[in-house]
Amino acid sequence: MKRVAWVSAVLLTLSVAGVSLGDGASQRSSERGSLSMRLGLNEEQVERLRALRLEQRKSALKRHADMRALHLDLHALLAADTLDEQALHAKTEALAQAQATHVRARVEAQLALRKLLTPEQIERWREEGGRGWHERRHERGARFEQRHRPSKDVGDDGGQR
């Protein structure tokens, strides 16, 4: 009984604080739904888009895991007592290939999306300010940099002027 009360209290606290226990999927889903309506996607396009996004997410997870493993291997090689230059070069080449594969997959996904939409839908998407994930990511990065840029009142040594 105490456990139920404790869980209820935690959930109440989270809901009052405005914290969602989900990963935002329902919000993104509703945003996609409204976007689908604004673009005028038919049911077949919605289903094909859903399947395309699922496959993209699965393959992206695998690619990211592979790249992360390569990064870890590279760091381990760099941290070794004796550096193996051949192994370092091979690992960086493997990482470069994995990154190139990732970029190609993203381009292929964009091509698949473009083939899914009619020219009118593409135009509406552009008018809506349609941007890809990559562009939004860079905008967020620029905003982060702007917020965390050192103040003009702080010198290079970190001391106040």
Domain boundaries, the chain: 40-115
> Is the predicted pLDDT of residue 87 greater than 60, yes or no?
yes
pLDDT score of 8 = 42
Domain 40-115 part of CATH 1.20.120.1490: yes
Q: Which pTM value belongs to this model? A: 0.58
Report residue 129: phi and psi, to 5°.
85, 25
pLDDT score of 98 = 96
Q: Once rounded to an integer, what is the mean pLDDT over residues 99-128?
A: 91
> Is the predicted pLDDT of residue 60 greater than 80, yes or no?
yes
Q: What Cα–Cα distance (Å) separates residue 36 from each residue in 24, 32, 123, 134, 161?
A: 18, 6, 14, 20, 54
Q: Are 36 and 46 in contact (CB under 8 A)?
A: yes
137's enclosing H/E stretch is: helix 133-147
Counting every residue written for the chain, the total comes to 161
Residue type at 47?
E
Question: pLDDT band at residue 142, thresholds of 50, 70 and 90?
Answer: confident
Q: What is the pLDDT of residues 17-58, one digit of tens each?
A: 333 333 444 444 454 456 788 888 999 999 998 999 999 999
Q: Are 49 and 56 in contact (CB under 8 A)?
A: no
**Separation of alpha carbons 68 and 62, rounded Å:** 10
